[in-house]
Amino acid sequence: MNKWLRKLFGKTTIDSAKSPVVAPDRTLDAEIHKTPVASTPPFVALNELEALLIAASTNPAKRRQFQDAMLASDLLAATPEAHDDSGWRTLQASELVSLLNVPAPDGAPVAAVFTSEQRIVDAFGAGTGFIQMNGATLLELVAERGAFLNPGSAYGVHWTADQLSAVLGKPARITIQKDTQVMLGAPKERPEELLDALTRSLSAENRIREAWLALAHWPEEDRWSWYLDVRTAMPGDDVSALLAQAFKLSSQTGLTLDMRVTDENEAEGSGIRLIPTSTH
């Protein structure tokens, strides 16, 4: 049964050269949910992180607390083969690590990550190998395709690549085609916590000349997002690093945060002016 499951779910290979780690070894899709499946094993919290996961499933106000704790805590990922020995070690720069995948809601394979060893047993069976590392580090390694937390358990979360980027405090990266249309405007309800975080971070950098936050609708994709328009000579990656906390906050609103960075002298942006600070 164990080998069959592994064959069904497949595996992902990650290259530790991209991010050395220490191990033992657009939408509301990312909402924490309780899976109403009769055969799902009973879910009793085995640690503080799982207790927060249960609380966050019914209380949206707890989701930020859960996400912060998850990034600071250790997470586990199942591996195709069990290790011959256990204990903590450092992955070498050239070392490859293979992780088991599960199907996302759209059928695409994504890495399976877990909050405890028992959740791995629930999903893949006893004797399955695993690695354990800091949650933020592990999610960084699988962020390109998204991830599924606790598949096969009563409480779990699926993140798309964009949603996981927001959880990790990174912007959603998109390629704009010449004929792509986007509708921008001011939101009916202001996301005050997100606005405060953006304004505070942007104001601290004198190289940023102007910035606006708009609510964006992408008709061709039929999706909504936040659209941050930043005018600066700074590289986009530097702006992203400056706004890491704000990108995390955007995930709490149920929308990803798209960002455009340009040094061109263009017309005034759309939405809410952040820099210089709007007076109305």
Residue 6: pLDDT band with limits 50, 70, 90? very low
pLDDT of residue 17: 38
26 and 128 in a single domain? The answer is yes
| Structural tokens at position 79 | 């591996």
Q: Are 147 and 206 contained in the same domain?
A: no
| C-alpha span between 113 and 156 (Å, rounded) | 10
Q: Give the residue carrying structure tokens 């164990």.
A: 2
Range of the domain at 43: 2-167
Instruction: State residue 173's pLDDT score.
Output: 60
Mean pLDDT of the chain: 79
Domain for residue 67, yes or no?
yes
- Together in a domain, 156 and 68: yes
> Residue 177: inside a domain, yes or no?
no
Q: In terms of pLDDT, which residue wins out, 228 or 60?
A: 228
The mean pLDDT of 21-36, rounded to a whole number, is 38
End residue of a domain, out of 137, 167, 197: 167
pLDDT band for position 22 (cuts 50, 70, 90): very low
pLDDT of 192 higher than 80: yes
- List helix spans (H) across 143-191: 161-167
CATH number at residue 239: 3.30.300
The reported pLDDT for the residue numbered 39 is 54
Q: Is residue 173 part of a domain?
A: no
Would you state the pLDDT for residue 83? 64
Q: What pLDDT digit, counting tens, does each position of 62-78 carry?
A: 888 898 899 999 999 99
Inform me whether the pLDDT recorded for 13 exceeds 50: no
CB 224 within 8 A of CB 216: yes
Under the banding of pLDDT at 50, 70 and 90, the label for residue 8 is very low
The whole-number pLDDT of residue 81 equals: 77
Q: Is residue 267 part of a domain?
A: yes
Same domain membership, residue 36 and residue 144: yes
Number of domains comprising the chain:
2
Q: Are residues 44 and 122 in the same domain?
A: yes
Task: Give the separation between CA 197 and CA 151, rounded to whole angstroms.
Answer: 33
25 has a pLDDT exceeding 90: no
Question: Higher-confidence residue: 238 or 2?
Answer: 238
Domain boundary (139, 167, 195) is at 167
Res 177: pLDDT = 56
Residue 191 included in any domain: yes
CA dist., res. 67 & res. 264, Å (int): 36
Residues 193 and 271 occupy one common structural domain? yes
Structure tokens at 53: 């996961």
Residue 232 clears pLDDT 90, i.e. is over it: yes
What pLDDT is stored for residue 38 in this prediction? Answer: 43
Q: How far is CA 48 from the centre of its chain?
A: 20
For residue 10, what pLDDT is reported? 42
Tell me: do 144 and 215 sit in the same domain: no
Q: Could you tell me if residue 87 is inside a domain? A: yes
* Overall pTM > 0.75: no
In which band, very low, low, confident or very high, does the pLDDT at 49 lie, cut at 50, 70 and 90? very high
Q: Does residue 24 carry a pLDDT above 50?
A: no
When pLDDT is cut at 50, 70 and 90, the band that residue 41 belongs to is low
Would residue 56 count as lying in a domain? yes
Q: Of 167, 191, 207, at which residue does a domain stop?
A: 167
Q: Are residues 149 and 21 in the same domain?
A: yes
* Co-location of 91 and 203 in the same domain: no
> Is residue 153 located within the same domain as residue 201?
no
pLDDT at 74: 95
Q: Give the closest residue to 22 by CA, choosing from 86, 82, 92.
A: 92
Query: 179 vs 267, which has greater pLDDT?
Result: 267
pLDDT given for residue 45 in this prediction: 92
Please tell me whether residues 103 and 223 are part of one structural domain: no
- Do residues 214 and 89 share a domain? no
Of 22, 168, 183, which is closest to residue 87 (Cα–Cα)? Answer: 22
Domain assignment present for residue 189? The answer is yes
pLDDT at residue 91 above 80? no
